[in-house]
Amino acid sequence: MCGIIGIASNKAVSTNIIESLKRLEYRGYDSAGLATLHNNQILEKKCTGRVEKLEKILFKNPALGSVGIGHVRWATHGVPNEVNAHPHSSEIVSVVHNGIIENSDQLKKDLESNGIKFKSQTDTEVITLLLTEEIKNESPIKSVQKTLKKLKGSFALGIIFKSFDNLIVGARRGSPLAVGYAKDENYLGSDSYALKSMTNKISYLDDGDVCVLTKNSVEFYNLEEKKINKKVHTLSDDKNLAEKGDYKNFMSKEIFEQPITVKNGINEYVDKIKNDINLYNFPIDPKSMEKIVLIACGTAYHSCLVAKYWFEEMSNIEVEIDVASEFRYRKIKFNKKNLYIFVSQSGETADTAAALQLCKDNNVKTCSVVNVVESSIARNSDWVLPLHAGPEVGVASTKAFLGQMLILYILCLKISFNRNEVNKDEYIQKINNLIKLPKAIDDILKKEDQIQLVAKDIYESKGSMFLGRGTSFPIALEGALKLKELSYLHAEGYPAGEMKHGPLALIEDGLPVIVIAPKDKYFEKTFSNTQEVIARGGKVLLITDKHEMVINENIRFKIDVPFIEESLSPFILTIPLQLLAYHVALLKNCDIDKPRNLAKSVTVE
C-alpha cells in the first residue's frame, strides 16, 4: 500500500521517478505525484488515477530538478483526489508518507489553534506543517528528529526542503524503507523492487532510523540520534521475471509460471539423489517442539489452513493458526518450545510484521516463509525459508500461494521425518510424488479452454459459492477470494458439511456453486452435499480427479484434474479456480493486475 521513491542526483530526476513509480504500481494505489527542487522552488505535480496520467502531465509541463520525491497513494485519510494525493508541500517543505499517523487529529487541532490552515483531509499534511515550523530554527535532520517525536503510528517518510536543494531525508517507523546506491546518485524507496532498475546495492532502515541522502553521500542515524553504519546488500538480478513478455497481463503470466515456480522450489529444497529435504539450522529441535503456530493474512492465511491438515496428518505436533491482525491483540500464552511461523508474500505485511515483533519481544523462536528475502519480516526472523517464486506483480497472489504451500509441505514432511512420525519408505515416496507435481500442474493448465466456457456461463451471476472438505476447504476459501479480488463478484467459501447450517438458504435457481471434490475420504459426503445444491436449482461446477464414479447429468460442468497423491491435491485443485477468477474478470473488463481498492503489499493496519 502506497509507495515512495526519492532520488538525489547530478541530473534531472523526474523521468526516473516516474519509472520507479511504475514499478510500485503493484502495491495498489489511487493517485500519484512527485515534487522536485529547482531554482529554489518546490515543483509539485499530482493527479488521481494512474502513473501514466502523471507522466502525461509532466510531458506537457516538466518538473525540473536533480533532487525529487514521488509517491503512489492508497487512500486512508481522505478520499482519492488531487488535493489529498502526495506529496504534501508547504512553501518550504514537501513530504511523501506511507503509513498512518494515529494522533493526527490532535496534532491538527494544535496547529489550527496557532492559526495554521490545512488544505487536505490527510494525516500526512500534519507532518508537512510540523516540519515547516521546525525548519525555521533547526537543520533538516534536527527538524525531522524533533517532528518524529511528536508522531504516533507507523510511517515511512521522504522529505525535501526548499532551502537545501541537494538532499533528501528519509525516516522509518513501522513501514519499510530502503536506500539504494549508485555513482553520483542515491535513492530512497519503500521497497528494493522500486530501486532495482537503478541499482542492486541496497541498505534497509530499521525502526527509528533516519537517513540523509545527497548525490554523493548517505548518512544514517538511529533512534538515539547517533550516527550509525548500515550493511549494504547486493540484490539478485531477476529483471526478466518482472516483465510481461507476450502475456496480456502479469497475472496470466504468473498463473502459467507455476510449474516453474514449484520446480524451482523443489530444486532448492529437495536432494533428488539422496531422496532427502535440505532444511537445516532449525531454531528449535523438531523432536522437542510442542506446538507450531502459523500466522498470516489473506491468501497466505489460506496456505496455513492447508498446512494445518498436513501437520495433523503426518505428525503429532499440535498446530494453531492465527490471522495476524487478531494475533497481536490476543492475550497470547507464549511458549519457548513452540515455533511461530509467519507467512507473507511481500515480507512487509504490516499485521504479520507486528505479530512477529510481538513474538520477538517475548523471546520465542520464529520462522518466516516469504518471497522477498530482503524484507522486514525475513530480516526480523530467526529462520527464513524463501519461496524462490520470483517477482509476483499481480496484486491477487497466484504463484506465491503455491510457493507458500510448497514450503509449508516440505517443512511439514521434514519435521515429521525428523520426529520419526513418517518412516523412511513413506518419506522417500512422498518426495518422489512431490517431484511429479510440476508436470501435473502443467497438465491442468491445459484445461484453460474448458474453464473459459465456465466463466462465460457465470460471469453475469450476482454471486457464487465454493465448497470443499478437508484440505479442499481452504482451497474453496482461496477460490472465493480470487473471484472477489479479480471480478468484484460476491463469493463465499464454506466447508461442504456446513451447508445445512445456514448457507443452504443462499442456494437459488442458477446460483453458481463450485464444488471441490477430489477422490479422497471425504468424496461421498461432499458429493451428497452437491446433490442438495442441485435439488435447489444451483448450477454446479465440479472439480475432481479423473474417476468413473462422477457421472451425473445434473452437474452443469465438470473439470477433471490429474490424479496425484491425496496430500498434494491442493496444488492441483487451486489452478482451475485461479483460471476461473481470471477469465470472469477478463469478461467483466476488470483491471486484473491492479484490482480496485486492493494493494499488493499491505503496509498499514
Catalytic (active site) residue 600: yes
Q: How far apart are CA 110 and CA 116, in angstroms?
A: 9
Q: What are phi and psi of 498, to 5 degrees?
A: -90, 0
Question: Which residue among 2, 359, 412, 590 is the active-site one?
Answer: 2
- Nine cell digits for residue 339: 515455533
Q: How far apart are CA 508 and CA 511, in angstroms?
A: 6
With residue 99 as reference, give the H or E element that holds it.
strand 93-101
Q: What are phi and psi of 564, to 5 degrees?
A: -150, 165
Kindly give, in sequence order, each residue whose CB lies less than 8 Å from that of residue 514, ignoring residues fewer than 6 positions away: 464, 465, 466, 467, 476, 479, 540, 541, 543, 577, 580
Quick check: 241 and 390 in contact, CB under 8 A? yes
Q: Which of 103, 96, 91, 170 is nearest to 136 (CA)?
A: 91
Q: Which of 351, 380, 354, 394 is nearest to 590 (CA)?
A: 394
CB hemisphere CA count around 263 (13 angstroms): 11
Q: What are phi and psi of 211, to 5 degrees?
A: -125, 150
Sheet (strand 164-173) strand order: 88-89, 93-101, 153-161, 164-173, 210-213, 218-221, 227-228
Q: Which of 410, 397, 436 is nearest to 268 (CA)?
A: 410
Residue indicated by cell numbers 513530504: 95
DSSP summary character for residue 317? -
- Nine cell digits for residue 252: 496470466
- Nine cell digits for residue 341: 511461523
Q: How far apart are CA 528 and CA 225, in angstroms?
A: 66
β 227-228/233-234 pair status: unpaired
Angle at 118 between CA 161 and CA 83, to 5 degrees: 80
Q: Which residues pair with 73 in a beta bridge?
A: 31
Q: How far apart are CA 260 and CA 83, in angstroms?
A: 44
Helical packing angle, 140-148 and 124-134, nearest 10°: 130
Q: How far apart are CA 11 and CA 168, in angstroms?
A: 15
Question: Which residue among 108, 196, 484, 600 is the active-site one?
Answer: 600
Q: What are phi and psi of 164, to 5 degrees?
A: -130, 80
Query: 3-state DSSP call for residue 445?
Result: helix
Residue indicated by cell numbers 496425484: 564
Q: Which are the catalytic amino acids? A: 2, 600
